[in-house]
Each structure stands twice: as C-alpha cells, then as structure tokens.
Amino acid sequence: MKERGVDDGHIIHINSVLGHSLPGGRNVSMYHASKHAVTVLTEGLRRELVQLGSKIKVTSVSPGVVVTEFMNLYGEEIKNRLYTENPTLQSKDIADAVVYTLGTPPHVQIHEITIKPVGEKF
C-alpha cells in the first residue's frame, strides 16, 4: 500500500477464536501459537500505522469452528467428530463479516470481530 501511495486501505487478517484463548486439546499447540501470533501482529501493525499517522485500517476476524477444507488435514474421523459434536459456521458467515467491516465509514475502525456459532463450547 505504501509503495502505491495508498493511505486509506484496509488490512483484514483472518484469525481464530483460538488466537484469544488456550482451550485443551492434544497436538494443536502450534496452531494456537500461530493464531496468538496473528493477534499480536494485527495489533502491532495497527499501532505502527497509527504512529505513522496513516488512515489504513487493520481488522482481525476471529471465527469459531468453520466448515472448510482445512479440517481434511486431520482425517475423516476427527473432522466428522468435530463437525458433529460442535455447532459450525459456514465460509459465507465469515465473508459477510469481512464485507461488513469493509463497509464501515472512514472514521470507523473495527479492531476485532469474533464470530461463533450459537452454542459453541470454545
């Protein structure tokens, strides 16, 4: 943005509710750590832009469980258990939040949107 002379853009990071907490679970600590890093990087970037006097907005969107291809990495058994034992969001739910964020007026910055399906346990 800086190279192109843009000073009123919007950076949106897709994070996770796991970037704000540490629920139990095996073999997922690196995923949690990476999402906590996104949380810190987002806030750090926002503060740097404020110090520069920039009008670029920075938003973190943190969804709960979303039905995506990502869960295929864990295998059918784990994926099916996660999706049957937990309420889920659809990708469109996240896209709608991004569109809402992009539609805010120039003087409004949404720092964080947390989106969870009704009844989520995390």
Which residues, at least 6 apart from 14, have a Cβ–Cβ distance to it below 8 Å?
61, 63, 94
100 is catalytic: no
Cα–Cα separations (whole angstroms), residue 44 to 38, 90, 99, 108, 115: 10, 29, 23, 18, 22
Q: What are phi and psi of 19, to 5 degrees?
A: -85, 5
Please identify which of the residues 31, 74, 83, 100 carries the catalytic annotation.
31
The residues carrying an active-site annotation are: 31
